[in-house]
Chain A
């Protein structure tokens, strides 16, 4: 018998759920024989019991309340499509009669307990032979025996313990992606070359080894050359390729002077060794490559964890329920043909443009169009793909294939593709260009000065200048400063696609917001009660009724009302009208004015703005007592954030919704902000493009598919998500909604980072200055190079990282 975890800490009135840690209702759900355990809902208890039965309660000890509230609606046959041969063949990475293996993405994974439980799946289902977590990618690789269990069973088990994998069209067929290993190999070769060449160069540095040097100098030189060749061919390849690509686009990036310097260094060293004039600079050469690769590695490390380039296919479900003459059948969305009938249940996404045939559609298009309230559709009307059905199951007849639907077309619109900016104007690249000019001028100057006196010296000075001007410290400054910045921002739940986004954020001068879901908090909406007050018993009764409904307004209302667990008799939900039920002897009706027994007339007299808000009327025992009015609620921190932002940025709002909120937005945003309503996705995109044409650097903050184009077109698109598990459109940065209040601070921090990069540039210029002074005088020797290069590289790395930490600390991040 597993021991019970410590009893939940008693707060004033609430008890935390043993599974998920949420507050329990006044009468917590108990488990027979273990009074110390309390659960907030049956779902949580079910998970606990499942784990307890397999002695897996360690789960609750490793981390504080690791469970997640069970909220999925159990739909029969939800995973049936996993039995399909076509789906299986795409999902499984390996398949044989005795073993099958696949990798699933599980976004809910968040702590050590999750890792532990997911790696102990075999205790829950003996058919699973092994499961392995990659926490950073939130992936689980499962091996199972197809003869004892099935893919559907595995996924069902995961869903039962509330780690439902995300299986979408985009993920189908995608093999577990390996992070690029090339860089690691290159780093390994460079480290190998660097270490050994340094060892061989050692005798050169010390006078007491002169005799050694005279005997073995030549051998050491050739050996160094031998060791440096793989470094040049394997490790330094990336720099040459990037410089070449830049050149082909008539653009000089930072990798160009690097390649120039590396070439000069290598050629000089080869010449010195072949002509036996000196030991060469191979130690500096390999060291440089090694340090710069470290910079690249730092730059690359942070990218893996999140995927920013999701397209519509990750939004659509994998399979739909097809209605055929023989009954229901699960088919892959891709196989959907016009004319077929499908069934879409509560909370499912409509996969293709279709005509509603049976049932009442209430379709939540908030993600596609930005409209905040679900749209009602009756039989015979057209529904577009991308909406989420709320309420009863409906039957649809497909009119267009998935690939030709409105949403898909929108997405494939060339205007929505971000034009790959080959010449990303980062500071480093801009500086790099001047750097090349300066270097070449100096090198030629040195030749002109020395040539009449000493031709040999002229050549030496020329190569020395090229070598020392190799901006390795410069190339390290950005990755290290930005890498540190990415980590700081990641802690604050702002995840950036790459470090160039930090620069863009720091340079931006205009911020454009979407309204629904971005400025407003979809989960909350102010509920105001108008009318004679309800008694606590009546409130309980209303709460009990609305809790039975899945209608969004009911659910919002339920979250506002006191928690309770009264039984409801005679419950009925009349679509687009309301709910009724009998609780503790009271007949409760909740719904539209007419449904609750009011004449529809009064609403007409109310001013139009009020009209657009939703009201839910309450009728208890035949008496209409009042109504709940729902308003959009702006995020708590919005006013504060806007006040800070408006000092520095030009602000604008693009809303797909109507202009009911205009006055409130005007008050929040101030007189100068531009407010646009009823914007289609294309309008939003055009607006951003227009701003960019005016030479502005634009940040777009949005959340839905309707913002996808604008997010792409903006210099930096920030997608706001309520949880990382939700879908977010392709973007440059993902901000968790909880951190919205820190937007101003984060942008300030990005500006700090830009200044830090500049400061680091100055530092590396100092090193280059010292080196150049020596170089033009022809006094740049291998030993000077061997000392100066690592010192400059290392100090720049340390300097950049520390300054970013300091800036973060000062901003309180």
Chain B
């Protein structure tokens, strides 16, 4: 059953990775504006050509 120690260690490591990813996301300003990106991704580049 001592494998549990290893498993928990790994699971904590994974969780820490996610925590670090979250910190990075906050730091890079992704939570500053949660409206504009949603609009921005809907813009198409060359609308003129398909009409």
Contact = CB atoms under 8 A, between A and B. Distances in A.
A135 B39 contact: yes
Interface in B28-51: 29, 31-36, 39-40, 42-44, 47-48, 51
A3 B49 CA distance: 9
B31 A196 contact: no
A58 interface: yes
Contact of B32 (A179, A199, A219): A179
Contact of A112 (B5, B15, B31, B42): B42
A116 B43 contact: yes
Given A115-B39, A119-B40, A61 B33 contact: no
A188 B23 CA distance: 8
B36 A196 contact: no
Interface residues of A, number: 33
Contacts of A199: 11
A134 B33 contact: yes
A2 B15 CA distance: 52
B1 interface: yes
Contacts of B40: 115, 119, 133
Contacts of A133: 36, 40
A55 interface: yes
B26 A188 contact: yes
A62 interface: yes
B26 A184 contact: yes
Contact of B36 (A136, A188, A195): A136
Nearest to A305: B35
A178 B29 contact: yes
A55 B51 CA distance: 14
B32 to A, nearest CB: 6
Interface in A190-211: 192, 195-196, 199-200
B29 A215 contact: no
Contact of A216 (B4, B33, B34): B4
A594 interface: no
Given A178-B32, A185-B23, A215 B1 contact: yes
A189 interface: yes
Main secondary structure of the interface of A (DSSP, over half): helix
A192 B23 CA distance: 11
A502 B42 CA distance: 36
A181 B23 CA distance: 10
B3 to A, nearest CB: 11
A215 B4 CA distance: 11
B32 A134 contact: yes
A178 B51 CA distance: 41
B26 A185 contact: yes
Contacts of A2: 48
A378 interface: no
A38 B31 CA distance: 42
A487 interface: no
Contacts of B10: none
Contacts of A185: 23, 26
A3 B48 contact: yes
B1 A181 contact: no
B6 interface: no
Interface in A1-47: 2-3
A133 B48 CA distance: 23
Contacts of B32: 134, 178-179
Contacts of A3: 48, 51
Contact of B33 (A57, A116, A136, A212): A136
B1 A196 contact: no
Contacts of A115: 36, 39-40
B19 A188 contact: yes
A123 to B, nearest CB: 11
Contacts of B22: 188
Interface in A153-192: 178-179, 181, 184-185, 188-189, 192
B48 A55 contact: yes
Contacts of A631: none
Nearest to B29: A178
A133 B27 CA distance: 18
Contacts of A493: none
A2 B18 CA distance: 47
Contacts of B33: 134-137
Contacts of B42: 112
A223 interface: yes
B35 A112 contact: no
A192 B15 contact: yes
Contacts of A195: 15
A175 to B, nearest CB: 13
A61 B4 CA distance: 59
A219 B35 contact: no
Contacts of A212: 1, 4
Contacts of B27: 181
| Residue of B5, B16, B39 contacting most chain A CB atoms (<10 Å) | B39
A116 B41 CA distance: 10
A773 to B, nearest CB: 36
| Residue of B12, B32, B47, B48 contacting most chain A CB atoms (<10 Å) | B32
A61 B47 contact: yes
B31 A181 contact: yes
Nearest to A230: B19
A189 B33 CA distance: 21
Nearest to B43: A116
B13 to A, nearest CB: 11
A657 B40 CA distance: 48
Given A55-B48, A136-B34, A179-B32, 7 more contacts: A3-B51, A112-B39, A115-B36, A119-B43, A134-B36, A199-B11, A200-B8
16 contacts: A3-B48, A3-B51, A58-B43, A58-B44, A112-B42, A119-B43, A133-B40, A137-B33, A179-B31, A181-B26, A195-B15, A196-B15, A200-B8, A212-B4, A215-B1, A216-B1
Which are the 6 A-B pairs with shortest beta-carbon distances?
A135-B36, A134-B33, A192-B19, A188-B22, A184-B26, A112-B39
